[in-house]
Amino acid sequence: MTYVINQGMAMYWGTSRWTAMEIMEAYSVARQFNMIPPVCEQAEYHMFQREKVEVQLPELYHKIGRCGRHDVVSPRLRHHHGESYQWLKDKIVSEDGRKQQAKLKELGHIAEKLGCTLPQLAVAWCLRNEGVSSVLLGTSNPEQLTENLGAIQVLPKMTSHVVSEIDHILGNRPYTSEDGQQAVLGGRTQVKSALLSTAPADCAFASIRSVERTSSSEPIGETPVSSLPVY
């Protein structure tokens, strides 16, 4: 990719659905051989897929863009656009599908109160994440595109209260380092105890590491966010 960019065939390059380890390896190789690293990662991000964008990537770097691949907030919401796919029907009638449909029904009430459609609420929910530099929409006709662009008008309505209400309905908010950083104000000893008692067993150690980490930790990427592309 360095050759392609140096030859003027591209201005920058990014990754798509790479794991945190793969991105870290790419930066390591780029530094070692004086090559150009990726400037963004296109990751799947929507109300039912949050872990990578909200937990894994922020812990890995701070100066590389994160493009959320929205696809009208996953195929589950495409059902509300009238598209009919057999595989989608199978998902909907499954146990997990029925649970998600129940959550979508509750989210629809929030959208109604905000004066928007459910897809607009979902796009605005993605946009409200300051760690996401751009959101890629998966639309199949001009009407869907116009509807989704209306999410820009919904974004100012995404208050902390609304976001908390959505998190309560989804029930899948990941435990992030920000939670530990906010709690550390109450005392480092108490934070460690709380993390061990409330966080899931598989993330307790990582959470404590986040609390102990100093602000001088060097980020992996060196590309300024201002130069990130918009797809």
- pTM higher than 0.75, yes or no? no
CB 213 within 8 A of CB 58: no
List pLDDT tens digits, range 57-82: 876 656 555 565 555 444 444 444 44
How much is the pLDDT for 189?
A: 38
pLDDT category, 224, cuts 50, 70, 90? very low
- Taking CA atoms, 27 is separated from 7, 51, 159, 188, 230, in Å, by 21, 22, 36, 33, 21
List pLDDT tens digits, range 119-153: 999 999 999 998 888 888 888 899 999 999 999 99
Per DSSP, the three-state class of 42 is strand
How much is the pLDDT for 56?
A: 82
Beta-carbon contacts of 126 under 8 Å, excluding residues fewer than 6 positions away, are 45, 46, 68, 70, 73, 132, 135
Work out the percent of the chain whose per-residue pLDDT is above 90: 40
Domain positions in the chain: 68-172, 175-214
